[in-house]
Each structure stands twice: as structure tokens, then as C-alpha cells.
Chains A and B, each alone.
Chain A
Amino acid sequence: MTRAAPAAVVAVEDLVVEFRASRSIAALLRGISARRLRAVDGVSFTIARHETLGLVGESGSGKTTLGRALLGLYRASEGRITFEGAPIRAQKTRELRALRQHMQMVFQDPYSSLNPRMTVGQTLGEVLRFHAVCAKSEVVAEVAKLLELVGLSADMAARYPSALSGGQRQRVGLARALAVRPNFLVLDEPVAALDVSIQAQILNLLQDLRDELGLTILFIAHELSVVRHMSTRLAVMYLGKIVEIGAADAIFSAPSHPYTQGLMKAVPRLIPERRHREAVLKGDVPSPLAVPSGCRFHPRCPMARDLCRAETPPVVALGDGHEAACHFAEEAARTWAATSGGATV
């Protein structure tokens, strides 16, 4: 088969990522296997070229784990990930090293994502030298160019991270990821730690770079407004599974999974009026070590029925690639349209 470059930059099929609880020496000697926590539990999706897929979900739902697995930082227990048609296997270090020039990550916490003992220039220079991005003699000039690309002045190169603000650090993290000229980026909550005005600067910068460099992006966040601003498509995770996926506009206008609807309703509005309503969703996110039977959202779902407790819901196609994993997805969508629908969102 002779195919041009596949349309999907990243394809994930039935991905499972597990963590093992640490074992004692006695357990090790007796060969007792540790308890397993499924942080990502059977997830499939693709990301098309030049697309930005937003990924939202509760804390602990497995977003970071998924993003890191895509880069081969965690090993897939089951399922497969391909990048530009090539499989990503965490255990194949050499294979990965070549691929990593094309895929990079920006981390959530600007305070721990830079080595405190290296200046900005050293951090960026190391990447350039190690991957032989440019001639040795041009490293200094290239560092200056990178800094400029992310809107920092070249004299920042001499600074240690401790002398930078959170927003500046996040820019350096972005420059480090861009240094190898990747075409796929995983952005793990890149603005969560920043205040709104710096956040707006970084989001604009990301948009510019995306258009300029033709990047494909997985954008992880828990703030819906930020995701809406950045993404073309959207995936919603709950407890290790994707519960809804589709075009961002479609999901924001017609969320069809009760959890997504809960998320939308729970977002605080910029309306200066003291709220007089109860919490949208009751109860806590269950532990991934004790996943509820049937639909894993049922203990908190306002629409839950007996079927939900007994059977895992199928993935319901709602047209145009919009899918929701709920027994009553269509009904949920109708209810949304009829009631809150256009009014609050």
C-alpha cells in the first residue's frame, strides 16, 4: 500500500495505562503482583493534522497520564498509539528518541518544569546541541531566536529560573519544546498556574505559533473557557474514559453526556450576581481503585437508572463525529436543548 502521510497525526486505539502500587520486599520475593490502578481505561481517538484537540475532565481522570503516554513517557499496558503511522512504545528508547524530535510537551507547573540549576540559555542550548538542531557556533544566536519567538528578550538567556516570573517560565518551557521544531505538541494545563492577564498573553502566543508553525496540539485543561478558546475538537474524560468527543462547537452548543452537561453548568459565570443555586453535581469522583459498576458516572448522574448501574453504556454516535458514551445520550441532548440549552450557554 502506498499511502501519503496519514491524515491523523496521532491515533490511539483501546489504550490502557496502569500504575502499580509499590510492593514490599516480601511481596516481591513471593511474586505477588501489586494492586493496579487503571488511570486510562480503554481510550480511542485520533488527532488530525493542524487540529487542536482539547481534553477536559475532573482532576484525577487521567488527562495527564494520557498525554504522557502519547509521548511514550508511560508504557501502554494494552492498546496502541501511533504517531505519523509509527508505533509509540515506551520500552523502545532508541526508536522513541528519533520520534521525539517531532513531538514535545509543555508542563503545567512553571515552577518545577525548569531545572533550577541551569540558566535559560543552558537549558535551551543543551537541546539545540544534543539534537544538533543547528551548528555549534550558531547555538547562541538560535537561543536568542527561540526566546524572541516566545516573546522574551535575548538577555533572559543568562537568568536562572528563580529570577523569572511564572509567565516567563512558561514561555521558556514553550521555547524548549519548540527548539527541536516538533509538529505535535502536548500542552498539559499550560496556563492553569498563571493569572488571567498572563494567561491571555500565553494563549495568544500559542495561537500565533500554532498558525505560524502549523502545529498539531493536544490541549489539556480544566478550565472550559480556556479550552473553548483554543480547541477545534474536544474530548471529555471521566475516571479514565472518554465520555464525549466531537467538534468543540457541537459539544459546547449541545453537550450530550450528563457529565459534560454538569461541567458546563458548573462553570462560574462572569455575571456579578450572587448565586442562589445548589451545586450542579453531588458526590465525589470515585477512586480509580474502586470503579463503580456499569456506567462509572452513575453515582453522581442526575439521570441514572437501573440500566446504568448494570451495564456499561455503548458509544452513541450523534453525527459529524460527535459521540457520547451514555445509554441515554439522545435523551440527554434533547433535555439540554429543551431546558437550560441556549439560555445559560
Chain B
Amino acid sequence: MTALTARSISAAFAVRGEIGRWSVTMKVGVSIVGLIVLAGIFAPVVAPYNPYFQDYDQVLLPPSWDHLFGTDMVGRDLFSRVIYGIRIDLTVGFIITYVPMIYGVALGALAGYFGGTFDVVLMRVLDTAIAFPFLVLIIVIIAILGPGVHNIYIAVFLVAWTMYARLARAEMLVERNKDYMLAARTLGYPTSRIIFRHALPNIINSSIVFSMADFVLNVLLLSGLSFLGLGVQPPEPEWGAMVAEGRDFIFDAWWICTLPGLAIVLTGTGLSLIGDGLSQRLGQRHQTIL
């Protein structure tokens, strides 16, 4: 299933000669996110200090050449913490975006393809889930389960697939009746092959475009929850938690909450730009096919 999705995604991007056709937006977005991801992967090399090391001689230092982003109230190097924070925020953000996407798309595709009772029931679940604001639902679930990353996973996994299921179902309803799908049936292919190999690459575009916006929201969600103390717990270098820690020092040491906040904004901007670029690119291809 994962392999199939991966193949569909790569098919949707059709790597060959692709970059040449990217818009400026897309290129800028990919550069920003690419740099951030690289910095995260090579964090031990990029970060000058240990992100957990508390140096009480170096407390609340403003940004300087020694400490690019300054230090926090227990003397940890903020730049190093922000760099290590990439690992947490992007990884968690990625997981809570793409895991629900996989089964959301699969469920929506199945419902759209088969219709019938399964579809009716699924639609009802979707309608119910969408009647509540997403954030409120997450917070309620976490309030019940208790704080922590694991419970964020559970809460988001419970709720976030619904949008993907809706998108995939709608696309599948259109795709199902296209003649090439019937042709695949006439040729006696198994249903799973028809749905996942033939239809999926054609219905996944809108989900991919949506996932970029979703990714941004999920990074904000994680840092927001951590800010509220419901997510990643100190001393882990999570951006939202760092902003929360710096809150008390906002007047004496603005950098503690501002600079991790900037990291969030920059990541969000990069992802949104990719999202815009993708929707242009994939939307355009949609048109040439039509």
C-alpha cells in the first residue's frame, strides 16, 4: 500500500524534465524547505552546541557571533535548539500529515469506487467529523488522552484522514465512470489493481496539493499544542515549546520566543509556496489531459 502510494506520488510528479517547468514560487519554496530539511538532517554538523547543554554562565545572552540566536534562561544555545527542532517539528508534521493521507485516500477511493452501504456510512462519518472544528476536536481528544506526542499522533490520526477521504471519494466518483476504468474491468484485472494502479495516480493530485497546506497547519498545530503544554514536553527543543518558554522573558530577551517563531513562519511559508506551485503545476496538467 505504502509502495503503491509512493509510486502514485512519484508518477504524479513525473520527475523527468520536471524542474524546468516549475514556477518561480515553486522553486523558492523548494529551496527554503530543502535548506531547512538539510539543516535538520545534518543538525550535529550545523549546530555549534549541544542543544540540551545548560551553561549557567551564559544565560539570556543576546544574539552575537558566538551565539547566533542568543541563549535562553538556562544558557542553552538557541540556534542549536532551533536546528534540532527541525527534526522534531518536520518529522512529526510529516507523519501526522501523510499517514492519515494514506488511509484517508485509500478509504475515500474504495468508497467512491464501490458505493453502496460502505459509502453511505463513510459519508455520514465524514459529515459528522467535519461538523466540528478540527482544532477543537483535537484538543478535546488530547484533553481526554493526556498530553504528549503519542497522543497527538492518536488524536490527529483519528481526525485528519477525513478531508483526504472526502477529496479522494469525490475524484473517484468521476474517475470510476471513465472508459479506461471500464476497459480495465473488461480486461479482467483484479479490482485492487484497478483502484490502486489505474485510478489512484489520476485521483491523487488534489490530495497532494491539499497535503501541503495541511502540512503547514500541522506544524502550526504541533507547535501550538506544545506551546499550550499539550504536545512535546521540555526539555525537547520543539519550536512551539521554546516560544512558550521564552514567553516570560519577552521584554528582557525577545529572541527566545521570536526566533523559534520565525523558524515556524519560514517553514510554513516554504511549504505554502510549494503548495501553490504544485496546484498550478498539477492543475495545469489536469487541463492538458482534459
When C-beta atoms are compared, the residue in chain B nearest to A180 turns out to be B187
Given A28-B117, A117-B201, A162-B288, do A107 and B188 touch, yes or no (CB 8 Å)? no
Instruction: Report the interface size for chain A: residues with CB under 8 A from the other chain.
Output: 32
Interface 1/0 per residue, A103-119 and B, CB below 8 Å: 01101110011111110
Task: Report the minimal beta-carbon distance from B16 to chain A, rounded to whole angstroms.
Answer: 12
Residues of the A chain whose Cβ atoms lie less than 8 Å from the Cβ of B121: 25
Q: Are B189 and A162 in contact (CB under 8 A)?
A: no
Instruction: Report the interface size for chain B: residues with CB under 8 A from the other chain.
Output: 23
Q: Which of B11-58 contact A (CB under 8 A)?
A: 11
Task: Report the minimal beta-carbon distance from A234 to chain B, rounded to whole angstroms.
Answer: 24
> What's the dominant secondary structure at chain A's contact region?
loop
Interface 1/0 per residue, A172-194 and B, CB below 8 Å: 01001100100000000000000
Q: Are A97 and B179 in contact (CB under 8 A)?
A: no
Instruction: Tell me, yes or no, whether B120 is within 8 Å of chain A by CB.
Output: yes
> What's the dominant secondary structure at chain B's contact region?
helix
When C-beta atoms are compared, the residue in chain B nearest to A160 turns out to be B289
Question: Which of A73, A112, A130 is in CB contact (< 8 Å) with B180?
Answer: A112
When C-beta atoms are compared, the residue in chain A nearest to B200 turns out to be A117
A-B contacts besides A73-B185, A117-B201, A118-B198, 18 pairs, CB < 8 Å:
A22-B115, A25-B121, A28-B117, A68-B182, A71-B186, A73-B186, A96-B188, A100-B186, A105-B182, A105-B186, A113-B179, A114-B180, A115-B180, A115-B198, A115-B202, A116-B289, A130-B189, A177-B186
Q: Which of A69-115 contact B (CB under 8 A)?
A: 71, 73, 96-97, 100-101, 104-105, 107-109, 112-115
When C-beta atoms are compared, the residue in chain B nearest to A104 turns out to be B186
Instruction: Tell me, yes or no, whether A36 is within 8 Å of chain B by CB.
Output: no
Bound-state CA distance A113–B175 (Å) is 11
Write 19 A-B pairs (CB below 8 A) sorted by A numbering. A22-B115, A25-B120, A28-B117, A71-B186, A73-B186, A104-B186, A105-B182, A107-B183, A112-B178, A113-B179, A113-B180, A115-B184, A115-B198, A115-B202, A116-B289, A118-B198, A130-B187, A162-B289, A177-B186
Instruction: Tell me, yes or no, whether A127 is within 8 Å of chain B by CB.
Output: yes
Given A28-B117, A97-B188, A100-B188, do A176 and B183 touch, yes or no (CB 8 Å)? yes
Bound-state CA distance A304–B112 (Å) is 45
Residues of the B chain whose Cβ atoms lie less than 8 Å from the Cβ of A25: 120-121, 123-124
Bound-state CA distance A107–B288 (Å) is 21
Q: Which of A1-41 contact B (CB under 8 A)?
A: 22-25, 28
Bound-state CA distance A113–B178 (Å) is 7
Given A73-B182, A108-B179, A162-B289, do A23 and B120 touch, yes or no (CB 8 Å)? yes
Bound-state CA distance A343–B121 (Å) is 62
Instruction: Tell me, yes or no, whether A229 is within 8 Å of chain B by CB.
Output: no
What are the 5 tightest A-B residue pairs by CB atom distance, in nearest-first order? A113-B179, A107-B179, A97-B188, A100-B188, A112-B178
Residues of the B chain whose Cβ atoms lie less than 8 Å from the Cβ of A136: none
Interface 1/0 per residue, B180-220 and A, CB below 8 Å: 10111111110000000010011000000000000000000
Given A101-B188, A112-B178, A130-B189, do A28 and B120 touch, yes or no (CB 8 Å)? yes
